Amino acid sequence: MRLFFIFLIGHVPSFLAWANPTSEDDLSQDTPYMKELLREAKVAEIESFMDQKVDPCSDFYSFSCGNYAKINSASNLGVLSTGVFETLTKGLNRKILKMLNKAHDIHDTPEDIQVKQFYESCFRIKELNYPEKLKKLIAEFGSMPLLEGSSWKEEDFDWLKTTARIAHQYGIMPIIGAEVFKDIASNQRNRVYIGQQNFPLESRSMYLDNKTLTYREGYLSVIQRHLQQALAVDTDLATKTAKELLDFEVDLAHGLQDESAGLGISEMSELLTVPEMQKRYSPILDIDQWLFIILGERVSDEIYEYNKPYQQNLVEVIKRTPKSTVANYIFFRLIYEFVELPSAKPRKPQQVCVDLTKKFFAKNLDNMFYRRYNNEKSSSEIDKMWLQLKATFNETLRSSSALDWIEPPTRKLAIAKLEAMTLQINNYVWENLTEEFVDLSLQSSDYVENVRQIKMVGAKLMRQNLHKPPKPVDLGLQLSYTAANILIENTIKVPVALLQPFYLWSEVYPNAVMFGSLAYLIGHELIHGFDDSGRKFDAKGNSKDWWDEGSSGNFLKRRECFTKQYGRYVYDGIQLKESTAQAENIADNGGLRLAYTAYRKWFDSQPPSDLIRETLPNFPYTAKQLFFISFAQIWCNDVQPKLKALQVSTDQHMPGKFRVIGSLANFDEFSNEFNCPAGSIMNPREKCIVY
Q: Does one domain contain both 254 and 403?
A: no
Contact residues for 672 (Cβ-Cβ < 8 A; gap 6+): none
Domain boundary among 306, 336, 366: 336
Alpha-carbon gap, residue 310 to 325, rounded angstroms: 19
Residue among 224, 245, 244 nearest 236 (CA): 224
Residue 531 has a pLDDT of 95
Q: Does one domain contain both 521 and 659?
A: yes
Q: Does one domain contain both 327 and 393?
A: no
Q: Is residue 38 left, alpha or beta, with left meaning phi > 0 and alpha meaning psi from -120 to 50?
A: alpha
Residue 104 has a pLDDT of 87
Q: How confident is the model at residue 344 (pLDDT cuts 50, 70, 90)?
A: low
Q: Which of 9-18, 26-35, 142-151 has the lowest mean pLDDT?
A: 9-18
Q: Does one domain contain both 331 and 381?
A: no
Q: Does one domain contain both 275 and 148?
A: yes
> Domain for residue 620, yes or no?
yes
pLDDT digit string (tens) for 667-676?
Answer: 999 999 999 9
Express as a percent the part of the chain with pLDDT over 90: 81
Amino acid symbol at 478: Q
Q: Does one domain contain both 389 and 326?
A: no
pLDDT digit string (tens) for 585-614?
Answer: 999 999 999 999 999 999 999 999 889 989
Q: Is the pLDDT of residue 151 over 70?
A: yes
> Domain for residue 60, yes or no?
no
pLDDT digit string (tens) for 566-586?
Answer: 999 999 888 888 888 899 999
Q: Does one domain contain both 395 and 326?
A: no
Q: Where are the alpha helices (DSSP H) in 579-686?
A: 583-604, 623-634, 641-650, 656-665, 668-673
Report the sign of the C-alpha dihedral through residues 660, 661, 667, 668, in that order: positive
Contact residues for 292 (Cβ-Cβ < 8 A; gap 6+): 298, 299
Q: Which of 73-77, 190-194, 243-247, 595-599 has the lowest mean pLDDT?
A: 73-77
> Domain for residue 658, yes or no?
yes
> 525: number of CA atoms within 13 Å, CB side?
28
Domain boundary among 281, 311, 336: 336
pLDDT digit string (tens) for 222-269?
Answer: 999 999 999 999 999 999 999 999 999 999 999 999 887 878 888 999
Amino acid symbol at 615: T
> Domain for residue 486, yes or no?
no
Q: Greater confidence, 373 or 635?
A: 635
Q: Is the pLDDT of residue 13 over 70?
A: no
Residue range 156-173: mean pLDDT, rounded: 98
Residue 575 has a pLDDT of 87
Residue 479 has a pLDDT of 84
Q: How confident is the model at residue 15 (pLDDT cuts 50, 70, 90)?
A: very low
CATH code (residue 602): 3.40.390.10
Cis peptide before 174 (omega within 30 of 0): no
Domain that holds residue 421: 375-426+501-691
Q: 311 to each of 397, 432, 450, how far by Cα in Å?
A: 42, 36, 33
The size of the chain, in residues, is 691
Residue 547 has a pLDDT of 97
Q: Is the pLDDT of residue 391 over 50?
A: yes
pLDDT digit string (tens) for 527-564?
Answer: 999 999 999 999 999 999 999 999 999 999 999 999 99
Q: Beta strand 303-306 with 269-272: parallel, antiparallel or unpaired?
A: antiparallel
Q: Does one domain contain both 152 and 271?
A: yes
**pLDDT averaged over every residue in the chain:** 92
Express as a percent the part of the chain with pLDDT over 70: 95
Alpha-carbon gap, residue 301 to 352, rounded angstroms: 43
> Domain for residue 484, yes or no?
no
Alpha-carbon gap, residue 548 to 387, rounded angstroms: 28
Residue among 453, 433, 456, 458 nearest 442 (CA): 453
Is residue 357 within 8 Å of residue 84, measured between CB atoms? no
Alpha-carbon gap, residue 461 to 435, rounded angstroms: 9
Q: Does one domain contain both 317 and 389?
A: no
Residue 642 has a pLDDT of 80
CB atoms closer than 10 angstroms to residue 324: 17
Q: Reduced to 3 states, what is the DSSP secondary structure of residue 195?
A: strand
Q: How confident is the model at residue 641 (pLDDT cuts 50, 70, 90)?
A: confident
- Count how many domains the chain has: 2
Residue among 288, 184, 203, 294 nearest 249 (CA): 203
Q: Does one domain contain both 407 and 260?
A: no
Q: Does one domain contain both 604 and 556?
A: yes
Q: Is the pLDDT of residue 451 over 50?
A: yes
> Domain for residue 13, yes or no?
no
Residue range 503-517: mean pLDDT, rounded: 94
Q: How confident is the model at residue 6 (pLDDT cuts 50, 70, 90)?
A: very low
> Domain for residue 366, yes or no?
no
Q: Does one domain contain both 282 and 414?
A: no
Residue 29 has a pLDDT of 59
Q: Is residue 510 left, alpha or beta, with left meaning phi > 0 and alpha meaning psi from -120 to 50?
A: beta
CATH code (residue 134): 1.10.1380.10
Residue range 143-171: mean pLDDT, rounded: 97
> Domain for residue 17, yes or no?
no
Bridge partners (DSSP) of residue 82 are: 638
